[in-house]
Structure 1
Amino acid sequence: MSPTASSEAPVLLITGFGPFPGMPRNPSAALARRLERSSRLRLALGRALRVRVLDTTYDAVGTQLVPALAEAPAAVLMLGVASRAKRIRVEARACNRASRFYPDASGRPSASLTLDPAEPAARHAVVAPQALAILRRHGLAVVGSRDAGRYLCNASYFRALAEPCPVLFVHIPPVSSAKRPRDAVRPRRGRLDPAAQAQALTEVALFLCVRGRAAARTR
């Protein structure tokens, strides 16, 4: 089943992140752009697909993410890089917390340890188990996670999960530029292969759209 495009509001919002200290090239941005070029998503959604590469700053949550969410997408797929991860991580929740030890791309840390004192301690993604199963069917090295960190990925996810639509955050491993020895063990299929990741995430995106359109009809 494929979602039908809407001329009034985006069916799907996909976000990635730009560079930040220690990550001069953020692979989540490249992956988001790859999904934007997906012929399957273009055929299903047309102009109802929105892709936004967010600045990796706390200000961007309010100035870039919130306006994108204000367009009322039917579903949101968020991508980020986990610098120490060796597998894809499907994040099941975001917490109302931050760290003051890690400055953002502008050099500023979070203003407080709590993202919003008026909001709950955590928000959960009900679509995470199904998305995890889809990625596993594609043979990717993937694991479920309940800790999206205390940086911009978690902060943006926490904000997006407040929306009345399916929202999912997927962390991908960094792409290593180091050459492996010839006798090194190959990583599991698709772990660092952007094409394989994009193919699997396209299916996840379409699943989110179907769920989002169904939920919208009941509201």
Structure 2
Amino acid sequence: MRPASAPRILVTGFGSFPGMPRNPTERLAATLAAAPPPGVDVLRLDTHWSVVETLPPVAARYGAVIMFGVAGRETMIRYERIATCHAGPQLDAAGGCAPPLTRTRFTAFDVPELVREAREAGFPVRLSHSAGTYVCNAGYGAALCGNPRALFVHVPPTTARGPLGDAGLVRHARWLIDTVMDELLPRTNRVL
């Protein structure tokens, strides 16, 4: 059980977009929202470039932000260290074009350590140094602008079962939320 004064975490997933009519992170967010872990708020984001403007003030209200997005060609879960200032020409789900992105931003999380811990827990996770050039990257940069304690997690399209199936991704998300929450809590406030 967490103390009442525990920091809150925002968890996000994205909706569909051109080329990905069924985004597994939308299902992941819906599952988490139906039974959120203590101290967690869940937000489904539209896959729109406008996250660049809307996300910084939202992210600033939380102790940490964990964002989930899909990487269509990926075969593992990927923890992103960096949001770059590069945006591609792809249209978002509303047909909008990318705004100019001004800064490369790095997360305050020790991502290599989180990758190591995730692997030890049995999850197929790898470190990544590029969140791409689409709305995921722009959203990650926006979250980092509002809160340096943000982490972007790319997941592959889901498999039928196993660690990359819908249930496996939910187990991973719950594990990651617990790990991040434990990191945020001062040692004196932890409830054993």
Query: Do they superpose with TM above 0.5?
Result: yes
CA 1:37–1:176 in structure 2 vs 1: closer, same or farther (change >3 Å)?
same
Residue 69 of structure 1: aligned partner: 59
Residue 95 of structure 2: aligned partner: 107
Residue 51 of structure 2: aligned partner: 60
Range 87-96 or range 205-214, more displaced: 205-214
Residue 118 of structure 2: aligned partner: 135
- For 1:162 and 1:130, the matched residues in 2 are separated by 22
- CA offset at residue 13 of structure 1? 0.3
Count matched residues: 188
- For 1:74 and 1:124, the matched residues in 2 are separated by 13
Identity in percent? 36
Is 1:202–2:186 an aligned residue pair?
no
- For 1:52 and 1:140, the matched residues in 2 are separated by 24
Q: Which amino acid aligns with 1:27?
A: P
Equivalent residues in 2 for 1:1-219, closer than 5 Å: 3-6=2-5, 11-38=8-35, 41=37, 45=38, 48-63=39-54, 65-70=55-60, 72-99=61-88, 101-112=89-100, 115-116=101-102, 119=103, 121-164=104-147, 166-175=149-158, 189-190=162-163, 192-214=164-186
- CA offset at residue 110 of structure 1? 0.8
Structure 1: stretches of 5+ with no match in the other structure:
178-186
Q: Which amino acid aligns with 1:108?
A: G
Q: Which amino acid aligns with 1:140?
A: F
**Would you say the 8 A contact 2:67–2:140 is kept in 1?**
yes
Cα RMSD (Å): 2.6
**Would you say the 8 A contact 2:15–2:23 is kept in 1?**
yes
Q: Which amino acid aligns with 1:127?
A: D
- For 2:105 and 2:64, the matched residues in 1 are separated by 20
- CA offset at residue 62 of structure 1? 2.0
Compute the TM-score of the two structures, normalised by the length of structure 1: 0.75
- CA offset at residue 6 of structure 1? 4.4
- For 1:138 and 1:37, the matched residues in 2 are separated by 24
Compute the TM-score of the two structures, normalised by the length of structure 2: 0.85
Rg comparison, structure with higher value:
1
**Would you say the 8 A contact 1:127–1:166 is kept in 2?**
no
- For 2:97 and 2:131, the matched residues in 1 are separated by 17
**Would you say the 8 A contact 2:68–2:154 is kept in 1?**
yes
